[in-house]
Chains A and B, each alone.
Chain A
Amino acid sequence: MSKSHIVAALDIGTSKAVVLVGEIFRGDRLNILGVGQASSLGVRKGDIIDFMAACNCAHAALLAAEQNARAQAEVAFLAQSGAHLDGFSQHAEVAVSAADNRVRPMDVQRLLAEARKKELPAGRLAIHHIRNSFRLDGRPVGDPNGQLGEKLDLGFWTVTGDESHLSNAIHLVNGYNGLEVKDIIVSSVASANVVTPEMDKKIGALVLDIGAGITDYALYRDGHIVKTGVIPLGGDHLTNDLSLGLRISRKHAERVKLSFGQAEVDAQARAEKVWMVGDKSVGDRYIPRLAICQILEARVEELFTIVKKHLGALLTPEDVAGGVILTGGTSRLPAIERVAERVLGLPARRPTEPAWLTESLRGPEYSTAVGLLLFALNAPQRDNSKPGAAGAGLIGQMARWFGT
């Protein structure tokens, strides 16, 4: 096994494709070598609707990242999002069999087998099968072996995706010089892994990754993800609303959103008027900022309301003491965290990006790709013992010089 592996983290979003190329050194160190981006085409609400267009964008981003890194990726880690994703919870419980009520490994094996007894519908494939914490007589335990109790139960959160969508995404990556997809990670899981502190994972936290086309969420409880989901609402909908509400073009609506947008109406917004274009050209006009903020607030409120509806009883202040963490490009919208607090009834904040990240990668739009690299770091290392692979030692080294 060689000392380092070059991996690519690929996040094909609705607005842009982001690729990070990193080096996993000795399986315990990560160097981010290069970044590549390309405007996304052929992707709507996270789903690939034009395969060739999406291929071109993703491959352009991969090429840019490899050129930036001056290295060729060996495998790819792919983020997956879109309305085709779904999830379900599986729950199993067994009675502790021993007379002394101490949990034996046999009990744990029975529990795991019980929890897996579920067939997927045709055309659905599992992406994640996330084990939650064991519960012994209703209380969470780390390792139940040897502990006293009568009833042992366990939950799994299984994320599934549509087979054709997943196949398209995999073949898109394979089309880049035969690049292999090593793992598929759901976007919300990847970004949540980066932006959520370990303590918040334990006390419970909701991570909302608000992208351009969709919003992914992941709910942590007792240190485990208990629910993920996708809401087909994102920053593009805000732009559309502005375009329709103010009767301006999408291009100008996007500019107005980015320059003057705010998720909440405040006193300053009520009094202010802003130029639509700003260069006083023909067609340029004043727009009351109040209108902008009202439109955005309504849509953002709707988004959080849907989130609240999705999570239902899971979203209690007691179970989500860590609050709501907002990430993704649309989370840059001013005052969005105040709306989240008001609607969800939980403290909301933007994440503190990891200090080890370079300044240029600390934006919320990179959190998913960085999360993928963290998964790559923790993934089992690739086996190099396949036939024909260059071996170690001098001959292997010389063979590698010649690219064989």
Chain B
Amino acid sequence: MKNSLTAAEGLRTWQDIGQQAAATRALSPVAQRNRLIRWVGTGVMFSFAASLLLLGAWALRGSTTAPLRGPTAAGTVPAIGKFEFVTDGVLTEGWAMNFLKVHPGDALEKLDVFALRDRLLSSLQVREAAVERVLPGTLRVSVKERKPWLRVATSDGAGGLRILLVARDGTVFAGQDYPDTLLNQLPWMAGMALHRAKGGGFQPVPGMELVSDLLFAARTHAPKIAAQWTVVNLQQFDPRPAAPQSLIKVQSGNLGELTFATTDFDTQVRRLGFVAEQLDAKPMLLHGLDLSVPNQVIVQPAAPPPSQVASRLR
């Protein structure tokens, strides 16, 4: 080891002094700290790698052992121990089990949850459905139901009447499990013919969203008045949005026939409420109220009884 300026051979140089340098140097505090950081970093890295390996092994074990729990392994097939039914409507767990034809004790693995879901959706009362297997032994069915806004009477084909319900999206369905009190509050739909669908049932009623909006506005702003509505006549109703001359006529128990335009239901209903209050203060017999004319309400008094007309003529 000669310094770069030295080329002296034979001369005694400073390199002849024996150094006490360590072959492997003792670590300085800086190096000790660096080594500690390296060790901790390496430890963390190895732990992470080991965790990944273990996780991978566990996942592989899960996938390889899964067939053992299948139908071929006798005695290990999980069965439906619990049936969970969740709905936002009126359908019951019993209806669901009957409709789906599943029973406690059925093999859970054998169930085709997609077929079950399709079967649920075949009931027009069900708008959305989900069927899940929750291992080890639970079948969970969740549905969202259509809400009825109107009812309609149709022939049952055997000379009798069949009551069907109309949802907001126009779907005509046979209501299940609805209490009579709720059904009796629904107005009847009139003035629009139902058309049969190819696969059975009826085609959706066009423009029902507009009708539902009117019913919703009435139930919100004038619930007492809405409760008196018995028939919604759609004879002069044009389902196209903002169609001219489109009218919805509602038969009310106390206010006669109410005529609504198909725009701005909130204003019309508030005006109706105001008129109803005035009529409460000064009762009079009405034929109906026409609310379809902008900025006014046409009050149509009922015709006097024939006896009163005759006395006037005299």
A contact residues vs B (CB 8 Å cutoff): 62-63, 66-67, 69-72, 74, 112, 116, 118, 120, 124-131, 156, 158, 161, 163, 166-167, 170-171, 174-185, 189, 225, 375, 378-379, 386, 388, 401-403
Interface-central residue, B6, B9, B29, B34, by most chain A CB under 10 Å: B6
Partner of A178, one of B17, B21, B29: B21
Contact mask for chain B residues 1-32; partner A; CB cutoff 8 A; 1 contact, 0 none: 10111111111111011011111111111110
| B7 with A179: CB separation less than 8 A | no
- Name which residue of chain B comes closest to A121, CB basis: B12
Does B42 sit at the interface, judged by CB under 8 A? yes
B110 CB contacts on chain A under 8 angstroms: none
| B5 with A130: CB separation less than 8 A | yes
| B30 with A126: CB separation less than 8 A | no
Q: How many residues of B contact A (CB 8 A)?
A: 33
| B6 with A129: CB separation less than 8 A | yes
- Name which residue of chain B comes closest to A177, CB basis: B26
B25 CB contacts on chain A under 8 angstroms: 72, 74, 177-180
| A71 with B30: CB separation less than 8 A | yes
| A129 with B4: CB separation less than 8 A | no
Contact mask for chain B residues 105-116; partner A; CB cutoff 8 A; 1 contact, 0 none: 000000000000
A130-B5, A158-B11 are known; give 13 further A-B pairs, CB within 8 A.
A63-B30, A72-B25, A72-B31, A116-B10, A126-B14, A129-B13, A177-B22, A177-B26, A183-B3, A184-B14, A401-B42, A402-B42, A403-B39
| B5 with A128: CB separation less than 8 A | yes
- A125-B17, A129-B6, A401-B42 known; A120-B11 Cβ under 8 A: yes
**What is the CA–CA distance of A403 and B4 in the complex, to the nearest angstrom?**
31
| A170 with B3: CB separation less than 8 A | no
**What is the CA–CA distance of A170 and B28 in the complex, to the nearest angstrom?**
18
| A178 with B4: CB separation less than 8 A | no
Q: Measured between C-beta atoms, what is the minimum distance from B199 to chain A in Å? A: 69
* 27 A/B residue pairs, CB under 8 Å, sorted by A: A62-B28, A63-B30, A66-B28, A66-B30, A70-B30, A72-B25, A72-B28, A116-B9, A125-B13, A127-B3, A127-B14, A128-B3, A130-B5, A166-B17, A174-B20, A176-B28, A178-B21, A178-B22, A178-B25, A181-B19, A375-B3, A375-B4, A388-B23, A401-B38, A402-B42, A403-B38, A403-B39
Query: 10 smallest A-B Cβ distances: which pairs?
Result: A178-B22, A180-B21, A129-B8, A72-B31, A403-B35, A174-B20, A66-B30, A177-B26, A183-B3, A126-B13
**What is the CA–CA distance of A175 and B26 in the complex, to the nearest angstrom?**
10
| A131 with B28: CB separation less than 8 A | no
A184 CB contacts on chain B under 8 angstroms: 3, 14
| A170 with B38: CB separation less than 8 A | no
B11 CB contacts on chain A under 8 angstroms: 116, 118, 120, 126, 129, 158
**What is the CA–CA distance of A176 and B11 in the complex, to the nearest angstrom?**
29
**What is the CA–CA distance of A112 and B27 in the complex, to the nearest angstrom?**
43
**What is the CA–CA distance of A17 and B182 in the complex, to the nearest angstrom?**
98
B24 CB contacts on chain A under 8 angstroms: 388
Partner of B28, one of A177, A183, A378, A388: A177
- A170-B19, A182-B1, A388-B23 known; A131-B31 Cβ under 8 A: no
Partner of A170, one of B14, B23, B26, B30: B14
Q: Measured between C-beta atoms, what is the minimum distance from A167 to chain B in Å? A: 5
| A72 with B30: CB separation less than 8 A | yes
A388 CB contacts on chain B under 8 angstroms: 23-24
| B39 with A402: CB separation less than 8 A | yes
Q: Measured between C-beta atoms, what is the minimum distance from A56 to chain B in Å? A: 15
Q: Measured between C-beta atoms, what is the minimum distance from A176 to chain B in Å? A: 7
- Name which residue of chain B comes closest to A159, CB basis: B5
- Name which residue of chain A comes closest to B31, CB basis: A72
B26 CB contacts on chain A under 8 angstroms: 177-178
B5 CB contacts on chain A under 8 angstroms: 128-130, 185, 189, 225
A124 CB contacts on chain B under 8 angstroms: 12
**What is the CA–CA distance of A291 and B39 in the complex, to the nearest angstrom?**
63
- A116-B8, A375-B4 known; A163-B30 Cβ under 8 A: no
B19 CB contacts on chain A under 8 angstroms: 170-171, 174, 180-181
Interface-central residue, B9, B16, B31, by most chain A CB under 10 Å: B31
